[in-house]
Structure 1
Amino acid sequence: MHLHCHQAHGMQCNFVGEIKPFEQKGFCLIAMKLIQASEDLLKEHYIDLKDRPFFASLVKSMQSGPGVSMVWEGLKVMKTGRVMLSGAKPMDFRPGTIHGDFCIQVGRNIIHGNDSVESAEKEMGL
């Protein structure tokens, strides 16, 4: 599973260290990198969203500070990790999940988890 504590929001609020739930599940952090993504990289990364009305604001928000890219390994890490995050839509965020406990503003997501091995491999290649 590729996790990206993204948008400067996650970094500004000091949420990067909140990886304990993944460690407690027995997942292994095998790679971590601090990145400051360029506009071109972000547009490539979010190419699937280019026609959505929020695309420009997403790219701008993601450029407002550094992010941390992490790669985790473990049994069913992708499926379990997405449950631990609590989905992708703010209306689905539940208390006791990373999004539910730490996402304090709609539109300022703090973490992302891939939905497929293919998308994780694509992001790791960027």
Structure 2
Amino acid sequence: MHRRPDALPTMIFDWGAIKWHVTPDAVPGASSTFGEVIINPTKGHERHLHPDSDEVLYVIEGEGRQTVGDDPEFPVRAGEAIYIPKGTLHSTFNTGWRPLRIIATYTPGGAELALRELPGFVELAPGAHPAWTASL
């Protein structure tokens, strides 16, 4: 199955956006989730966990700080991967001047559904683009 980004909805948050390319809800027979996450400069998301899914993050572009469990915070940059076991608190923060682009996977898929319950969540229709504003 072929999934074009402009044919997919976009999840918008105060820190950035996510476009899920493969989810169990959208792709018949899919058992995992795969998507691209954009975290805007100086932004990040609160520590949270996925009780039933492992998560793997792969940094495509940019740089940031990552937490996983009780381990100390560590820097991340393009080309690095992070494994987050299910039920483990974690967070990601963009420390650079450009967007932090990450590929995120959940195994098993489905953890993305909980993101819809976050405060400020908005979903843009396929083909619509977010309008980011600068705050100084």
Please classify the TM superposition score into its range, dividing by the shorter chain length.
under 0.3
Q: TM-score, normalised by structure 2?
A: 0.26
Whichever structure has more helix as a proportion of its residues is 1
Larger CA Rg, structure 1 vs 2: 2
Whichever structure has more strand as a proportion of its residues is 2
